[in-house]
Chain A
Amino acid sequence: MKIKYLVLMLLCLLLSGIHGFAADTESIIKRVEDNLNGKTAFMKFTMKVKTKRSERTMKMDSYSIGKEKSFIKITYPKKDKGITFLKVDKSMWQYVPRIEKTIKIPASMMLQSWMGSDFTNDDLVRESSISEDYEQRIVAEDETEYEIELLPHEDAPVVWGRILMGVSKKYFLPTTVKYFDEDDVLVRILSYEDVKKVGQRFYPTHWVMDPKSEDKAGHQTIFDINEAVFDEKISDTYFTKRALKRYSK
């Protein structure tokens, strides 16, 4: 009899444990996404693209509402100044002043490099859908961090086979994100560093993308967030196709 009770109790404990764990993971990811995106965000950042041969610096302004809409404008170098990008849900457009044309980025180009960096067009569009497209699970935990494994839903339109995300317990912000392909080969690591107080919240201000694939040996892309304002009202006019040309100047 005693053993029966014991087993039952254990089972109950286990079940409640699993349940609690799952709920936990979901809320962790939710908090992370909220912290990273804010309700709205305006940012000025610098992007450094390092390759074997060269290093380029670009500066840009970004406006976003949640994770659905964003607008990016290149402000430096002069040659690329005025190039704008608009992302609304899962579509992306680009305006190039030199050719005076707005181009919708087709699906076939989604995995191409974004502005010569180690980010792809797809990153800009899909980075947002982690909470929708992936099954989440905490696989490890220590005093400062959770390690969360993200496995894509079967029908999810994603390019990764698996993602391992480190989440800081202190800030509920990602620390490192490891991306694996379908053969479970590590393709790249994105690190979020230098958490600083920005307005009311803490925010990582130094992002480093380290590609691990052979063709990208010696490459690195670094984002430095120079200025950020969260949760202030951003005009809806930024998130229309017309804005691409209008705010290009």
Chain B
Amino acid sequence: MFLKIAIKNIVVYKKRSIVTIVLTCFTTALLVFASAFWDGSHNKMIESAVEIYPGYLQITQKDFRKTPSYDNLIFDAQSVRNTLTGISGIDTFSERFESFVLFSSLEKAVGGMFTGIEPKKEERLSRLKKSLKKGEYLSPDDHAKLYIGSELAKRLKVDTGDVLSFVGTGADYSFAADNVTVKGIFQTGLFDFDARAAFVSKSYFDEIMAAQNYATHFIVLPDKPENAEELAAIISQKLGKEYQSLSWQKTMAGLVQGMKVDSIFGYITLGIIFIVIFFVIMIYTLLTVFARVREIGILRAVGTTPSQILRLLLLESALLGLVSVIAGGLIGGALAYYFELNPIVISGYEEQFKQYGLAASAMPAIFSLSTLVRDMIVMFVLTVLSTLYPILKVNGYRPIDAIRQ
């Protein structure tokens, strides 16, 4: 009964219905798409920043992050390995030893980062292997083979197959130097990283840098990256106070903050747009509802109660809201889905992105049903709320006054 009348009214008052539907539909689509795009691009930025090299979870000796010296190494890598093996929720983990050396080719000498990695495990923890540009990636038993950043190779003027030397300090503070052959050149897109990093197999590193059973970092890939924080806490507890276990949210706090600020500004902008739109809806509702004051007065006069009228009017705006939110959700969702498959390429900004340590310029949206439903519910509630004031106002009239209007 109510439904029929409500539908009839919606059809009769075309102008109001269309304006409400169009506006709400547009706003919903906008919100759905904006959320999808922000989430997607932030995920992408974090993913690329985290996965290129730092990893989702880092374990170091407790003072290493503050004072990264050879006095603050992980001196018993085996025991850390044993402990990590017994913790569930870990997909893979691997150790690294980072050191600073002087690289020297025939042409030039350049300071840089010289790191021992476990090539097989590292494949899954970072994008080092995927960033291969020329030659080959490392294998575990490589002896004196170097995997070098493209910019560093360029500065040293070396290519695959060339021999270069490094001079540095071993983990026991002794002098360390050797000749290594360039096996592969990588390019992650992070200029700074490509300009200073070079890798060798950990077995070779341990031998030449006197680093047996030592490490600067353990990098952990959680089963579920979104659980990195919980996992870090569990690992901290198991490893004890000698070690520090931090998730990417901590190791890359600056980036995380940046994302938050970006989202907040985005939502503020959207919020302002929404306020304007809902005022428009409210005013339209106000106008149409007041145009119907006489009709409402008559309904009251023939015995309809105020609460019945309230229900009728609310049902109307709820129906309108529902239709437009669903339509908007579909449009926004479709856009999100499309741009998830075909990321938006922000061309010309690659350089700026690199300055922030971001290697990606293609920003995908992310289609998530839960976010979609969340946004639709928010918009539905807002639409209904924006019609509430006019409805209550008109319902406050006495029938006799209403009819005379």
Contacts and interface: CB of A to CB of B under 8 A. Distances in A.
A80 B173 CA distance: 12
Contacts of A96: 165, 167, 177
A203 B10 CA distance: 105
Nearest to A98: B177
Contacts of B70: 51
A94 B179 CA distance: 15
Contact of B104 (A51, A103, A116): A103
A217 B178 CA distance: 29
Contacts of A217: 71
B82 interface: no
Interface residues of B: mostly helix, strand, loop or mixed? strand
Nearest to A108: B111
A217 B170 CA distance: 18
A94 B167 contact: yes
B131 interface: no
B397 interface: no
Nearest to A77: B174
Interface residues of A, number: 30
Interface in B304-348: none
Nearest to B70: A51
A99 B172 CA distance: 20
Nearest to B110: A106
B67 A103 contact: no
Interface residues of B, number: 22
Interface stretch (A15-23, A52-60, A141-149, A174-182): A52-60
B177 A99 contact: yes
Contacts of A112: 100, 102, 111
B175 A215 contact: no
A83 B100 contact: no
A103 B104 CA distance: 7
A56 B174 contact: yes
B174 A80 contact: yes
B67 A214 contact: yes
Contacts of A109: 102, 109, 111
A112 B112 CA distance: 12
Contacts of B100: 112
B102 A218 contact: no
B102 A56 contact: no
Interface in A139-198: none
B173 A103 contact: no
Given A103-B167, A106-B110, 8 more contacts: A54-B172, A56-B172, A79-B175, A80-B175, A98-B178, A99-B179, A112-B111, A218-B71
Interface of B: 67-71, 100, 102, 104, 109-111, 165, 167, 169-170, 172-175, 177-179
Interface of A: 49, 51-54, 56, 79-80, 83, 94, 96, 98-101, 103-106, 108-109, 112-113, 115-116, 214-218
23 contacts: A53-B71, A54-B172, A56-B173, A80-B175, A96-B177, A99-B165, A101-B165, A101-B179, A103-B102, A104-B109, A106-B102, A106-B110, A106-B111, A109-B109, A112-B100, A112-B111, A113-B169, A115-B175, A116-B169, A116-B170, A116-B173, A116-B175, A215-B67
